Amino acid sequence: MSNAQPPQPPSGVTGLLLVFSITALLVGVGFDLGAGSRVRFWIGDQPAAAAAVGVAGVLFAVLAAHAARAVLARRKPGEEGSKDAGSHT
Amino acid sequence: MPALTLNPGFVPIIAALLILAMPRTLRSPMIVATALASFWLLLDHKFGAAAAMAQMGLPVVLLNLDELNRIFGIALLIALIAIGIYSGARRNRYEDAAILLLAGSAVSALFVGDLISFVAALALGGLAAAWVVFASPLAGASRAGARLLIWQGLEGLLFLVGVAFHLSAGAQASVVGRLDVTTIGGVFIFAALMIRVGAPMAHVWLKDVVSHASSTGAAALSCFTTMLGVYALARLFPSEPLLVWIGAGMVVIGAFYAVAEDDLRRVAAYGVTIQTGICTALIGLGTPLALAAAEGHAFATILSFLALQLMLGALLERHGSVRLSELAGVGRTMPLSAVLLVACGLAVSATPGLVMFASQAASLEAAAQWDLRWLWAIIWVTPVVMLVALLLRPSLAVYTPTGEVKPILEAPFSMLLGAGLALFLCFAVGLAPRWLFDLMPAEISFQPFVLDRVTPQFQLLGAAGVAYLALRIARAVPREQSVSLLDIDALYRGPLAAAGRWAGVLGLRMYGAWQSWTRQTSRSAGQSLAALANACDRPYGPSGTAAVTFLCIGVVLLVMFLVR
């Protein structure tokens, strides 16, 4: 029996969110690269630095979610409710 | 005769008593009317302190209005109006009264001009917050309310001790200025405020009560509790360097949990912790721009998270759960609510055009003035965490199709209206942020809508969205599961509680053993005395005990007499 994680159920809004995100990214990077007259004294002021920070932030979020689920998760809500740690079921 | 000074916060407190006797149809209009009356009182007064009254030898200043408390007061009263509209669909007079009492005590605490009244208003607010949780119909609410009472009691105790030390050191109670954290009074007050804002180790109470409160109560608790701590820090501990580290810790801890939690109301509570952390760190920086940014960010947090909590409450009311793992199909059964939820996600993610973007831009500008690149980077990354936790994950969850065909069952109209009003204000203030900046104590010539600020934000959010969706398609993102994450409260509700129970049992057993020993000792002593008395009654008995005793006592008395 395989222990592989079952696939995430497809969401109808994935494509729409992707389009919005790509549009925002292109607009931001385009204007950033177009306006090249700023004084750049550190890496955060380089063109497209914000995009790199965004990707780094997402990597942090995903890794933190994996770590938190692996270390701190309790997967028995019924038991949790009996100990009054749950929220609402 | 002294002139009557009516603090704007007293109106909701009085209304809280009246609303208990009101029919259901009048309660929601009553809350809105109360908020409007308080608003009128707030805007009617001029800046300055009212005359002090003497109570038990201490000066009491019931009203002290300035730019700092005005901006917080406006935000809290706007929140009360939205909550009043939202609460029209409920039937819980006790919760209505508790929310009014909570709002009234929070607004009163903002506008009082002495430390004693401030502590009293905070304590009343703590009781009212616990009442809000107790009034919730959800499972486990009573225990969560009891836990909140413990936290609030500890905070009140620390505050009271701190104020007592502060006054005993010769300070004036009616002069509320900057306190020194190196004095003993300052330390206690600082510790109390750390509980209030939800500093690391004390951050758990907010997610605990928000996830157990009712749909309306969670929004009220989200607005009227921690932000009062931000106000008090800005008033009492501006430019305190320790706050920078504490605020950064709050951001990191909140982000760690927000991206992994399954319960959306807990995620939102961690989101409030993140934003409160940013406010706290900015207060620690202490420059005029940083303080103004902290106040603006608190204002934006109140509005944005009010809208989000109200929307989540509407989902909870109709769908029965706000766990991400159980939200599939909601986009079809509650289409309007789902769209509003996505808009709330945009609001808390600091999307350009919404209020959080304006305050975020001001915060970044304030942090950039110092040589604290790490703090600047933390503030910059925060919208990414919010985007993932409160926009992308909920959107993907609610629009996940299910095989079942269910009828459309939208949230009640009053709930949608209240949440919609809060969201509208997020857009309105976000598009015209000059209105917000003009309310701030410091003169700010800050423009958020310039290309150098808008384009990086678009890049940040766009790249984060693309990266997250790509990782999700590649199955690198954790699957949404019904999990609860252990936090620091698991320590004091688990091992520490067990240790306390064990210590209690041990103490009871030791007490029982002590009682048993004293009982046996007294019984044997009584028996000896009884035997002696019996022997005295029969001095010429066969055993001759009494004669020996009399002889011994006589020898002792003779020795004492001779020695003397």
Q: C-alpha dihedral over B445, B450, B452, B453, to 10 degrees?
A: 80
Tell me the residue type at B342.
Answer: V
φ/ψ (deg, to 5) at A42: -155, 175
**Distance (Å, whole) CA A46 – CA A70:** 36
Distance from CA of A85 to the nearest CA of B (A): 7
Per the CB < 8 A criterion, the answer to whether B319 and B415 are in contact is: no
Of the partner residues A35, A57, A68, the one whose CB lies closest to the CB of residue B485:
A68
A52 with B463: Cβ contact below 8 A? yes
pLDDT at A2: 47
pLDDT at B199: 92
**Distance (Å, whole) CA B257 – CA B253:** 6
pLDDT at A48: 81
Helix (H) or strand (E) holding B507: helix B495-537
Of the partner residues A51, A55, A68, the one whose CB lies closest to the CB of residue B256:
A68
- What residues of chain B lie within 8 A of the CB of A26, using their CB? 462
- The pLDDT profile of chain B, 564 residues, written as one tens digit per residue, is 445 578 899 999 999 999 998 888 899 999 999 999 999 999 887 777 677 777 777 778 888 888 888 999 999 999 999 999 999 887 788 999 999 999 999 999 999 988 889 999 999 999 999 999 999 999 889 999 999 999 999 999 999 999 999 888 877 766 677 888 889 999 999 999 999 999 998 999 999 999 999 999 999 999 999 999 999 999 999 989 999 999 999 999 999 999 999 999 999 999 999 999 999 999 999 888 899 999 999 999 999 999 999 999 999 999 988 999 988 889 889 999 999 999 999 999 999 999 999 999 999 988 888 778 889 999 999 999 999 999 999 999 999 888 777 788 888 999 999 999 999 999 999 998 888 888 877 777 778 888 888 888 999 999 999 999 999 999 898 888 888 888 888 887 778 888 989 999 999 999 999 999 999 999 999 988 888 777 767 656 665 666 677 777 788 888 888 876
Per the CB < 8 A criterion, the answer to whether B58 and B116 are in contact is: yes
| 3-state secondary structure (DSSP) of residue B323 | strand
| 3-state secondary structure (DSSP) of residue A74 | strand
Distance from CA of A83 to the nearest CA of B (A): 9
The pair of structure tokens assigned to B63 is 């009203």
φ/ψ (deg, to 5) at B224: -95, 10
pLDDT at A36: 60
Is residue A16 predicted with pLDDT exceeding 80?
A: yes
Tell me the residue type at A62.
Answer: V
**Distance (Å, whole) CA B466 – CA A55:** 8
Q: C-alpha dihedral over A24, B278, B43, B4, to 10 degrees?
A: 160
- Tell me which DSSP letter residue B391 carries: I
DSSP string, B235-263: HH-TT-THHHHHHHHHHHHHHHHHTT-SB
pLDDT at A83: 43
**Distance (Å, whole) CA B236 – CA B192:** 12
Among B453, B458, B475, which would you mutate to test the A interface (most chain A Cβ atoms within 10 Å of its Cβ)? B458
| 3-state secondary structure (DSSP) of residue B64 | strand
pLDDT at A1: 44
Distance from CA of A1 to the nearest CA of B (A): 19
Residue A13 CA to chain centroid, in angstroms? 16
Distance from CA of B129 to the nearest CA of A (A): 17
**Distance (Å, whole) CA B262 – CA A36:** 43
For B27, B31, B63, B402, the CA distances from B13, given in Å and listed in that order, are 14, 11, 15, 47
pLDDT at B447: 81
pLDDT at B63: 85
pLDDT at A82: 41
Sign of the alpha-carbon torsion through B40, B44, B49, B50: negative
The CB density around residue B222, as the number of other CB atoms within 10 Å, is 28
ipTM field? 0.78
Lowest mean pLDDT among A1-5, A28-32, B106-110, B469-473: A1-5
B388 with A61: Cβ contact below 8 A? yes
A87 with B138: Cβ contact below 8 A? yes
pLDDT-based confidence at residue A84 (cuts at 50, 70, 90)? very low
Per the CB < 8 A criterion, the answer to whether B210 and B132 are in contact is: no
Distance from CA of B11 to the nearest CA of A (A): 33
The predicted-structure confidence for A35-55, as pLDDT tens digits, reads as follows 665 555 566 667 788 899 899
Per the CB < 8 A criterion, the answer to whether B376 and B369 are in contact is: no
Helix (H) or strand (E) holding B485: strand B484-485
Of the partner residues A31, A54, A81, the one whose CB lies closest to the CB of residue B467:
A54
For A52, A54, B388, B416, the CA distances from B308, given in Å and listed in that order, are 28, 23, 15, 11
A57 with B384: Cβ contact below 8 A? yes
**Distance (Å, whole) CA B134 – CA B131:** 5
B260 with A65: Cβ contact below 8 A? yes
The pair of structure tokens assigned to B7 is 């603090």
**Nearest by Cα to B371 from B289, B447, B285:** B285
